[in-house]
Structure 1
Amino acid sequence: MIVIYGGGAMGESLLAGLVRGGRDTADLAVCDRSAERARTLAERYGARQVEAEEGARSAEAVLLVVPPKAVPGLLDRIAPVLRPDCLVLSLAAGQPTGEVERALRPGTAVVRVMPNTAVEVGQGMCVLSGGRHAGPDRIAEACRLLGPLGDVVEIPEEQQDAATALAGSGPAYFYYVIEHLAAAGAALGLAPDAARRMAVAAASGAGGMLR
């Protein structure tokens, strides 16, 4: 079972992307500090709603999609019951793998991941870096798990801040460009909806050509 801890915007994008990518919903669970939010996501995507400790006991992989300040408290709850072979994917911005490793059982594989919001539609980018105990096999496992969300690139952890600026924040710049392309088209007399569709198609087509 894969457990997503954190039901915010990115947590939902990851859940939606995994479902869209064909992951069996019976293999997905979500946990959030708001039981109501977790229940909403579970019902929306067909996943299970679990409590923190419950999910950790049976999880093959956990995704920590909570603010950095919430990570220590969450790890205090799940570390004692987490399976020794569980793969821990930390998506907490700016959180080094070493900090997560120190809170877990020695030898636990931790992988730091920076995704962007396009994972929701399977066109995202996940940049990952393995911790001390995440060897090639665990990195490959992380890549397989994240693969349905889009492209996956492994980099040294010291480059994560640069990757966050490019891969994590990059889509916002394209939204800005598309917004202004569409506005320019409308100013030239095109219907706003048609102008927007043209701008989106131009960006999507250019991306496809570059691939």
Structure 2
Amino acid sequence: MRRRLSAVFVLLAAVLGGLLTGAGAAHADAPDPVCRPALTNTPDIVCTIPVEFDNRPIESIEWTKDDDPLPRFDNIRQILVNCTPGERFVIGLTVTFADDIIPGVGDTPVTCPSRTTSITSFTCGPQPLGVNYVLCEAVWAGGVGPVTAEWFSPRARRQPVVSTDTAARRTTAAFDCNNPGGTELTFTTLVTVTDANGSRASVSTIPCGW
């Protein structure tokens, strides 16, 4: 009788060991969160639950960043994570299923993307201040703040009067195109925007000649 009981205990131990091994494999094989750069001209990332998770009945969702909990994202399937360009971290995901006592666990290493600056609009036109006065405007996107704007016209009689609204990502410059003798000039005007990481974008035009 004792031998039979011993055999039963050995069998139970083997079964439990197999279950525990299977649980470990389930954790190891769980799909990782899917992360990509956010399409918002900001250095952020969007992470979502993988399809393998999303097709199962889910009871709870927990996100982490470098093992630190992100409770504001509990039970949210897609999250937006703020980060600094070049920052490296790991996004972790734990999903509890209604049809399984073993939660799904996954993680994804992430490098925060760098958004470069680009000029999206540039226009110049006559300004109603007199003959050959010109007003130019540039609008930019992307870049890491603070972003600065510089205007330059090497042949203008005076350097332009510049106004820049960093919140609106817009900068304007008013030029006097006349030379000291009053003769009309045609010259190139250049604007350059530079962000905090040194990313630059420039555009030029020939505004005078009206």
TM-score with structure 1 length normalisation? 0.24
Going by fraction, where is strand more abundant, 1 or 2?
2
Going by fraction, where is helix more abundant, 1 or 2?
1
Of structures 1 and 2, the larger Rg is shown by 2
